[in-house]
Amino acid sequence: MMMKRMLMGSAAVLMAATAGWAQSGPTVPPPNPMPDVTALVSRLDLERYKATIKGLTQFGDRRQGTERNRKAIDWIEAQLRSYGCPTERMQYEYNPPPPAPAGAGGGQRPRDPNAIERSVGGGRPRGNRGRTGVNTDPQRQPNEALRALNAEPSTPGRREQVYCTKVGTKYPNEMYIVGAHMDGHGWGEAANDDGSGTALVMELARIFSMPDVVTERTIRFVLWNNEETGLNGARAYVEQRAALQGKESPAGSGRYPEPKWLGMIQHDMMLFDHGAPRPDGTMSPEQRPEADVNIEFQSTAKMSEAAMKLAFFFHGANERYATDYPAQVGPHMTNTDSTPFMDVVPAISLRENERGVHVGSGWDPHWHQPTDVFATFTDKDFRLGLNAAQTTGGAVAELVGMTLKK
């Protein structure tokens, strides 16, 4: 039944998807672009987006538990503050058990860096498949300076992640969460995974924080840490803050440290859509003509129906506000920071390809590899990421009741 609904005509889908959705949210999407939203989205700029990704790459792969990761958090926070978006930090502990010695009973097998990834809930890969995995060999990074920058190993202990908040004027107790993870690994620059998503969220924080932008509802822009180790930063956020939703503090102040969650939107790998590997395992150097923005929900989540509606709302926003690339909706959101939220709030993710089927089958040969560096990607690749920003910016602006001061 769900899949039949997904195949309905676009207009019918959008009308059915949003009917009866979150009590305080819109019931019908606007049939045409809204002038104020169009004006806001036009403030997104390709060169600024690229510059923010480039700024993130100065910290190498930003692997969690390292000095380069902590410096990147400081840099992100400074940028958000410069936009006028008030920042906060959240702390949590990451103390994984030590790996079992090789051959020890009950221990995990060493991870094969050349293994093909298979994501839980990610669909069944078919067709040509390339190898995927995580590069753990520093010698595969030919750039000596980058190799040295990434040399410090991760250590367990206290972790931090930063977020900033645009407080709503009418419903400050209701909030949409817009996120991406800032950590990476693989001995590259983590330019795509996930500098591209981090820069997208930062650019949205910039335009929504402009002095003439007013939103009825609150938006929180979060840069997760420890995604690559198992979504630990996002999991810690849910564990620490879910019970605080909608509670005024102090009483009578009109302030809500954790407004009620209306939706969570994740961005993870936004740039590379060059199609499936060829039969010989090589990839096209050119972006495929069918390149698009993938919007995913998880069909097995407790909140799947509401998440599907949110995904199709974003699909409609892509039609109204994205300049170059269309979007498609899929039911296989998996293995990204929206996963810890998906059973408690409508949660979706935007990315370059379907996570489980495409990325897990080698559609992005730079994933967790030394080649995930800024220089790998073309302006067409960066423009695909910008169109995802336009999609999210337009959808969120509509959802929070954004207007521009005249």
Residue % of the chain over a pLDDT of 70: 85
Distance CA 222, CA 16 (A): 30
User: Which residue type, as a one-letter code, is found at position 240?
Assistant: Q
- Which pLDDT tens digit goes with each residue over 8-19? 333 343 333 334
* Residue 110 in domain: no
Find the mean pLDDT for residues 14-28. Answer: 44
DSSP H helical segments within 210-288, as ranges? 232-241
* Residue 239 in domain: yes
User: Which residue type, as a one-letter code, is found at position 169?
Assistant: T
The answer to whether 264 and 392 are in contact (CB under 8 A) is no
Q: Say whether 50 sits in a helix, a strand or coil.
A: helix
Distance CA 5, CA 17 (A): 9
DSSP H helical segments within 95-157, as ranges? 144-149
- Which pLDDT tens digit goes with each residue over 273-332? 999 999 888 899 999 999 999 999 999 999 999 999 999 999 999 999 999 999 999 999
| Domain with 359 in it | 2-94+116-123+130-404
CATH code of 241's domain: 3.40.630.10
Distance CA 342, CA 121 (A): 12
Helix (H) / strand (E) element for 72: namely helix 67-82
Would you say residue 346 has pLDDT above 90?
yes
* Residue 352 in domain: yes
CB neighbour class for 239 (10 Å; exposed up to 12, middle 13-18, buried from 19): exposed
User: Which residue type, as a one-letter code, is found at position 244?
Assistant: L
The answer to whether 182 and 56 are in contact (CB under 8 A) is yes
Backbone angles phi, psi at 182, to 5 degrees: -95, -10
pLDDT of residue 30: 80
pLDDT range class, residue 25, cuts 50, 70, 90: very low
pLDDT range class, residue 117, cuts 50, 70, 90: very low
Would you say residue 334 has pLDDT above 70?
yes
- 61-70, 126-135, 378-387: lowest mean pLDDT where? 126-135
pLDDT of residue 133: 84
- Which pLDDT tens digit goes with each residue over 253-279? 999 999 999 999 999 999 999 999 998
* Residue 369 in domain: yes
- Which pLDDT tens digit goes with each residue over 131-184? 678 999 999 999 999 999 999 999 999 999 999 999 999 999 999 999 999 999
* Residue 99 in domain: no
The tokens describing 81, both together, are 């503050």
- Please give the full DSSP string across 289-350, using - where no structure is assigned: TT--EEEE-BTTSTTHHHHHHHHHHHHHHHHHH-SS--EEEESB--SSTTGGGTTTS-EEEE
Domain count along the chain:
1
Would you say residue 130 has pLDDT above 80?
no
Would you say residue 118 has pLDDT above 60?
no
Distance CA 344, CA 357 (A): 25
* Residue 100 in domain: no
DSSP state of 143: -
* Residue 13 in domain: yes
Would you say residue 120 has pLDDT above 60?
yes
The tokens describing 237, both together, are 């956020």
Look at residues 18, 89, 14 and name the one whose alpha carbon lies nearest to residue 263: 18
CA dihedral 5, 6, 10, 11 (to 10 degrees): 30
* Residue 266 in domain: yes
Question: Cβ contacts of residue 315 below 8 Å, gap of 6+?
Answer: 10, 13, 14, 295, 327, 328, 329
Would you say residue 4 has pLDDT above 70?
no
For the chain, give percent helix, strand, coil, nearest 5.
Answer: 35, 15, 50
Residue 350: strand pairing partners = 267, 295
The answer to whether 328 and 294 are in contact (CB under 8 A) is yes
Would you say residue 125 has pLDDT above 80?
no
pLDDT of residue 119: 57
pLDDT of residue 357: 83
Would you say residue 108 has pLDDT above 50?
no
- Locus of tokens 């993710």: 349
Find the mean pLDDT for residues 192-219. Answer: 98
pLDDT of residue 102: 54
- Which pLDDT tens digit goes with each residue over 353-401? 988 788 888 999 999 999 999 999 999 999 999 999 999 999 999 999 9
The tokens describing 9, both together, are 């005509």
Would you say residue 115 has pLDDT above 80?
no
DSSP state of 94: E
- Locus of tokens 């989205």: 41
